[in-house]
Chain A
Amino acid sequence: MAMFIRVDVDNSVIEKTSGLAQKLVEVCPVKIFKPGSAPNTVEVVEENVDECTLCDLCMQATEGVKVVKLYE
Chain B
Amino acid sequence: MRFYEFEAKQLLAKSRIPLVQSEVANTAEEAEKIASTIGGPVILKAQAIAPGLAAASTREVSDPGAAKAAATELLGIDDGGRKPRGILVEARPTGEAVYSLSFTYDGTAKRPVVAAANMAGKIDDLADEHPDRIVRRHFSALFPFSDYIAKELAKSLSLGGNDLKRMTRIVSGLARLFLKYDLADLDITSIVKLGDGNFVVLDVEADLEIEARHRQRPMLDELGFSKDDLRQVREPTEFELEGARIDAEDPRGIISPIAEFDGNIGLVIGAGGGSLTLTDAVRKHGGRPANYAAIGGNPSVDKARRLTKLVLTKPGVDKIAVMSNVVSNTRADLVARGVIKGITELGFEPADKILIFRVPGAWEADAAKILEKYGVEYCDRTVSISEAARRAVEKVG
Contact A3:B341 (CB < 8 A) given known A71-B369, A72-B369: yes
B300 contacts the other chain (CB 8 A): yes
Hey, which chain A residues are within 8 Å of B293, CB to CB? Answer: none
Identify B370's interface contact among A4, A30, A51, CB under 8 A: A4
Query: Given the known A-B contacts A50-B341, A53-B334, are A71 and B300 also in contact in the complex, defined by CB atoms under 8 Å?
Result: no
A16 within 8 A of B: no
Interface size on B, residues (CB 8 A): 15
Q: A residues within 8 A CB of B363?
A: 54
Considering only residues 255-309 of chain B, those with a C-beta below 8 Å from chain A are 300-302
- Which residue on A lies nearest to B373, using beta carbons? A71
Residues of chain B within 8 A (CB-CB) of A71 are 366, 369-370, 372-373
Contact A3 B337 (CB under 8 A): yes
B300 touches A51 (CB 8 A): yes
Please encode chain B, from 322 to 356, with 1 for each CB lying within 8 Å of some chain A CB and 0 for all others.
Answer: 00000000010010010011001000000000000
Residues of chain A from 47 to 72 with CB closer than 8 A to chain B in the complex: 50-51, 53-54, 69, 71-72
Q: Which of A1-25 contact B (CB under 8 A)?
A: 3-4
Compute how far the CA of A20 lies from the CA of B199 in the bound complex, rounded to whole angstroms.
78
- Across the interface, which residues of A come within 8 angstroms of B337, CB to CB? 3-4, 50
Interface size class of A (residues with CB under 8 A): 10 to 19
User: Nearest Cβ distance between residue A5 and chain B, in whole angstroms?
Assistant: 8
When chains A and B are docked, how far (Å) is the Cα of A3 from the Cα of B341? 8
| Proximity bits, B200-232, A CB within 8 Å = 1, else 0 | 000000000000000000000000000000000
Q: Which residues of A contact B372 (CB under 8 A)?
A: 71
When chains A and B are docked, how far (Å) is the Cα of A51 from the Cα of B337?
A: 9
A51 to B333, CA, bound (A): 10
A50 and B373 contact, CB distance less than 8 A: no
Q: Which residues of B contact A3 (CB under 8 A)?
A: 337, 340-341, 344
Contacts of A69 in B (CB 8 A): 366, 369
A7 to chain B, nearest CB (A): 14
A50 to B337, CA, bound (A): 8
Which residues of B are interface residues toward A (Cβ below 8 A)?
Answer: 300-302, 331, 334, 337, 340-341, 344, 363, 366, 369-370, 372-373
Q: List 11 A-B contacts (CB under 8 A).
A: A3-B340, A3-B341, A4-B337, A4-B370, A30-B300, A51-B301, A53-B334, A69-B369, A71-B366, A71-B370, A71-B373
